[in-house]
Amino acid sequence: MSGIDDPDAFDGETLDLVVPSTLDGMRVDRVLSMLTGRSRADAHDVLTSGAVVVDEVVVLKPSTSLAAGQHLVALLPPAPSGEVAADATVIVDVALDDEDFLVINKAPGQVVHPGAGHARGTLIAGVLARYPEVRALSATGLCDPARPGVVHRLDKGTSGLLVVAKTAEGFTSLSDQLARRTMQRTYLAMVQGHVEEDRGIVDAPIGRSTRNPALMAVRSDGREARTNYEVLTRLDEPSATTLLRLHLDTGRTHQIRVHLATIGHPVVNDLRYGHRRDPRLEEERFFLHSSTLGFQHPRRDDWVHTHLSLPSDLAPLVPEGGEY
């Protein structure tokens, strides 16, 4: 059982090459295994996840033969890394500490759990230093040893609220609420241009991009995804932008960013999905903030609700006096 709400996500590296003549006619799963040193079973899993593209077409069948000169791109998940080392130097801003879970205010630029290029200094390493009991979740088989307690996550460039389980009861309940879509998650985003409708829903399936498997895109064969939005304010200076409140019905990889870019309003400073560089923000920091998190307590009937205002790096970009 996995507590990650975006199972299509990989934190790995990209294999990008033109198939040489020495690999002509060879099965794609064997090629992946040979070039990466991974098992055929691992190669099979990468293929069936839709993370392999040959000449801009997603390849799903392991038995597919490659031809010399074809362009192969594969997004590879990180190799199993075992347990995460605790790191007391990592800042962990706890918004709510309960016997079964932690609600954490993730800082922009902070990576939630280890992945390629981010083996150390992750948020979960800081959690383990302060709450060593979380590590025991790895032994239950409920979650990956590299991600103990992680129920869902936020992109590196996103700030705000997420929940980490401390007990098996907490992990099971919170993961189930996430899967049944009863967990409430609200985001604030500033986007390019003026969004015309005051309220709306983007209902468009999301899958891995056929041009770049490190990105996601709206695809007819993708997984269902719905994002509700509400206009909070429209701004004209220094350029036309709109501040939105967003509610997720689903939790796909990069869902908000992909949906807003698809309707012509990419998130401000999100260079990967079409917005130009905004010098008011750090280079890898886009205007997306997880502002509200709500769920039923794992052991009680009461509803847990946590809200965070815009952080100090985003607040100056919106008018003063608004309730955001």
Residues with a catalytic annotation lie at 155
Residue 189 bridge partners (DSSP): 244, 288
- Cβ–Cβ < 8 Å for 286, 269: yes
What is the Cα–Cα distance from 316 to 323, expressed in whole angstroms?
14
Separation of first and last alpha carbons in the chain: 35
Residue 231 bridge partners (DSSP): 244
Return left, alpha or beta for 109; rule: phi > 0 is left, psi -120 to 50 is alpha, else beta: left
Residue 226 bridge partners (DSSP): 203
Give me the helix-helix angle, 40-48 and 28-36, nearest 10°: 120
What is the Cα–Cα distance from 241 to 238, expressed in whole angstroms?
9
- Residue reference for tokens 């991974």: 38
Question: Is-cis flag, bond preceding 238, omega within 30?
Answer: yes
Q: Hey, CA dihedral for 86, 91, 97, 98, is it positive or negative?
A: negative
- Tokens describing residue 193: 């241009």
- Cβ–Cβ < 8 Å for 185, 292: yes
Report, in this order, helix, strand and coil percent for the chain, each rounded to 5: 20, 30, 50
Nearest residue to 155 (alpha-carbon basis) of 277, 285, 274: 285
What is the Cα–Cα distance from 310 to 299, expressed in whole angstroms?
30
- Cβ–Cβ < 8 Å for 145, 138: yes
